[in-house]
Amino acid sequence: MSDTGIGARMLRKEDHRFITGKGRYTDDINLPGQAVGYFLRSPHAHAEIKKIDIKKAEKAPGVLCVLTGEDAAADNIGGVICGWMIHSKDGSPMKAGPHPVLAQGKVRHVGDQVAVVVAHTMAQAKAAAEMINVTYKVLDANVDPVASQKRGTPQVHDVASKNTVFEWELGDKAATEAAFASAAHITSLDLVNNRLAPNAMEPRAAIGSYDEGEDHYTLYTTSQNPHVARLVISAFVGLAPEHKLRVIAPDVGGGFGSKIFIYAEEVVCLWASKRAGGVPVKWVADRSEAFLTDANGRDHVTKAELATDSNGRITGLRAKTIANMGAYLSTFASSVPTYLYATLLSGQYNIPAIYAEVDAVYTNTSPVDAYRGAGRPEATYVVERLMETAARELGMDPADFRAKNFVNSFPHQTPVIMCYDAGDYGASQKKAMEMIDYAGFEKRKAASARKGKLRGIGFSNYIEACGIAPSAAVGSLGAGVGLWESAEVRVNPVGTVEILTGSHSHGQGHETTFAQLVSDRLGIPADQVAIVHGDTDKVQFGMGTYGSRSGAVGMTAISKALDKIEAKAKKVAAHVMEASESDVEFKDGSFSVKGTDKKMAFGEVALSAYVAHKFPTSEIEPGLKEGAFHDPTNFTFPAGCHICELEVDADTGVTEIVDWVAVDDFGNVINPMIVEGQVHGGIAQGIGQALTEAVVYDEGGQLLTGSYMDYCMPRADNLPSFKLGFTKTECPSNPLGIKGCGEAGAIAAPAAVMNALTSALGVKDVPMPATPQNVWNAMAHLREAAE
**Separation CA 252–CA 26 (nearest Å):** 7
Candidates 83, 111, 203, 337: give the one binding other proteins (CB under 8 A): 203
- Please give the C-alpha separations between residue 768 and each of 316, 367, 720, in angstroms, as whole numbers: 26, 20, 19
23 binds other proteins (CB under 8 A): yes
**Separation CA 54–CA 137 (nearest Å):** 18
Q: How far is the CB of 697 from other proteins (least distance, A)?
A: 19
Q: How far is the CB of 200 from ligand FES (least distance, A)?
A: 7
Pick one of ligand FES, other proteins, none as the site partner of residue 92 (Cβ within 5 to 8 A by kind).
Answer: none
Contact partners, residue 203, CB within 8 Å, separation at least 6: 222, 284, 285, 286, 287, 289, 290
Q: How far is the CB of 252 from ligand FES (least distance, A)?
A: 10
25 binds other proteins (CB under 8 A): yes
Label residue 217 exposed, middle or buried (CB < 10 Å: 0-12, 13-18, 19+): buried
- Please give the C-alpha separations between residue 375 and each of 465, 527, 645, 716, 740, in angstroms, as whole numbers: 10, 38, 25, 27, 16
Candidates 357, 645, 676, 743: give the one binding other proteins (CB under 8 A): 676
Instruction: Tell me how many degrees the CA angle 273-502-629 measures, rounded to the nearest 5.
Output: 135
The window from 21-29, 417-425, 439-447, 622-630 that contacts other proteins (CB under 8 A) reads 21-29
CB 88 within 8 A of CB 167: yes
- Please give the C-alpha separations between residue 241 and each of 108, 217, 250, 330, 359, in angstroms, as whole numbers: 30, 10, 22, 22, 36
CB 700 within 8 A of CB 678: no
Q: What is the DSSP letter of 667?
A: B
**Separation CA 303–CA 319 (nearest Å):** 6
Q: Which is nearer to ligand FES, 389 or 678 (CB)?
A: 678
Residue 503 CB neighbours (<10 A): 30
DSSP assignment of 338-381 equals TTTTGGGTTTTB--S-EEEEEEEEE-SS--B---TTTTHHHHHH
Q: Which is nearer to other proteins, 25 or 283 (CB)?
A: 25
Candidates 439, 709, 785, 786: give the one binding other proteins (CB under 8 A): 709
Q: Which is nearer to ligand FES, 254 or 478 (CB)?
A: 254
The window from 149-157, 312-320, 397-405, 502-510 that contacts other proteins (CB under 8 A) reads 502-510
CB 37 within 8 A of CB 269: yes
287 binds other proteins (CB under 8 A): yes
Q: Which is nearer to other proteins, 470 or 551 (CB)?
A: 551
Q: Write each residue from 250 to 279 as x if it is in contact with other proteins (CB under 8 A), else as -, in one continuous string.
A: -xxxx-x-----------------------
Residue with CB nearest ligand FES?
201
**Separation CA 185–CA 167 (nearest Å):** 29
Q: Write each residue from 707 to 736 as x if it is in contact with ligand FES (CB under 6 A), else as -, in one continuous string.
A: ------------------------------
Crossing angle of helices 398-405/425-436, nearest 10°? Answer: 160
The window from 74-82, 196-204, 312-320, 445-453 that contacts other proteins (CB under 8 A) reads 196-204
704 binds other proteins (CB under 8 A): no
Pick one of ligand FES, other proteins, none as the site partner of residue 674 (Cβ within 5 to 8 A by kind).
Answer: other proteins
Q: What is the DSSP letter of 626?
A: E
Q: How far is the CB of 258 from other proteins (least distance, A)?
A: 10
Q: Which of residues 505-534 bind other proteins (CB under 8 A)?
A: 506-509
Q: Which is nearer to ligand FES, 255 or 375 (CB)?
A: 255
Q: Which is nearer to ligand FES, 201 or 709 (CB)?
A: 201
Q: How far is the CB of 26 from other proteins (least distance, A)?
A: 11
Phi first, then psi: give them for residue 162, nearest 5 degrees.
50, 30
The window from 285-293, 342-350, 416-424, 561-569 that contacts other proteins (CB under 8 A) reads 285-293
Residue type at 682 in one-letter notation: G
Candidates 79, 326, 423, 507: give the one binding ligand FES (CB under 6 A): 507
Q: Write each residue from 34 to 53 as x if it is in contact with other proteins (CB under 8 A), else as -, in one continuous string.
A: --------------------
Pick one of ligand FES, other proteins, none as the site partner of residue 288 (Cβ within 5 to 8 A by kind).
Answer: other proteins
Q: How far is the CB of 703 from other proteins (least distance, A)?
A: 14
Closest by CA to 641, choosing from 464, 465, 389, 459, is 459
Pick one of other proteins, ligand FES, none as the site partner of residue 577 (Cβ within 5 to 8 A by kind).
Answer: none
760 binds other proteins (CB under 8 A): no
Helix H or strand E encompassing 775: helix 772-778
Candidates 719, 725, 728, 782: give the one binding other proteins (CB under 8 A): 719
707 binds other proteins (CB under 8 A): yes
Candidates 6, 12, 276, 579: give the one binding other proteins (CB under 8 A): 12
Candidates 66, 80, 674, 778: give the one binding other proteins (CB under 8 A): 674
Contact partners, residue 59, CB within 8 Å, separation at least 6: none
Q: How far is the CB of 32 from other proteins (least distance, A)?
A: 14
DSSP assignment of 418-448 equals -EE----HHHHHHHHHHHHTGGGHHHHHHHH
The window from 25-33, 96-104, 242-250, 461-469 that contacts other proteins (CB under 8 A) reads 25-33
In Å, the largest CA–CA distance within the chain is 94
Pick one of ligand FES, other proteins, none as the site partner of residue 620 (Cβ within 5 to 8 A by kind).
Answer: none
Residue 445 CB neighbours (<10 A): 18
Q: Write each residue from 240 to 269 as x if it is in contact with ligand FES (CB under 6 A), else as -, in one continuous string.
A: -------------xx---------------
Closest by CA to 45, choosing from 702, 706, 705, 707, is 702
Candidates 83, 534, 653, 745: give the one binding other proteins (CB under 8 A): 745
Q: How far is the CB of 25 from ligand FES (least distance, A)?
A: 11
Closest by CA to 326, choosing from 299, 358, 303, is 299
Candidates 181, 201, 709, 716: give the one binding ligand FES (CB under 6 A): 201
**Separation CA 103–CA 114 (nearest Å):** 5
**Separation CA 526–CA 4 (nearest Å):** 6
For the chain, what's the residue count? 787
Candidates 673, 763, 764, 776: give the one binding other proteins (CB under 8 A): 673
Pick one of other proteins, ligand FES, none as the site partner of residue 311 (Cβ within 5 to 8 A by kind).
Answer: none
Closest by CA to 579, choosing from 534, 529, 615, is 615
Q: How far is the CB of 546 from ligand FES (least distance, A)?
A: 16
Pick one of ligand FES, other proteins, none as the site partner of residue 150 (Cβ within 5 to 8 A by kind).
Answer: none
Q: Which of residues 91-130 bind other proteins (CB under 8 A)?
A: 123
DSSP assignment of 202-216 equals SPPEEEEEEETTTTE
Catalog residues that contact other proteins under the rule CB under 8 A. Answer: 11-12, 14-25, 27-28, 123, 199-203, 251-254, 256, 286-288, 506-509, 673-674, 676-678, 680-685, 707-709, 713, 715-717, 719, 721-722, 745
Binding residues for ligand FES, rule: CB under 6 A, are: 201, 253-254, 507
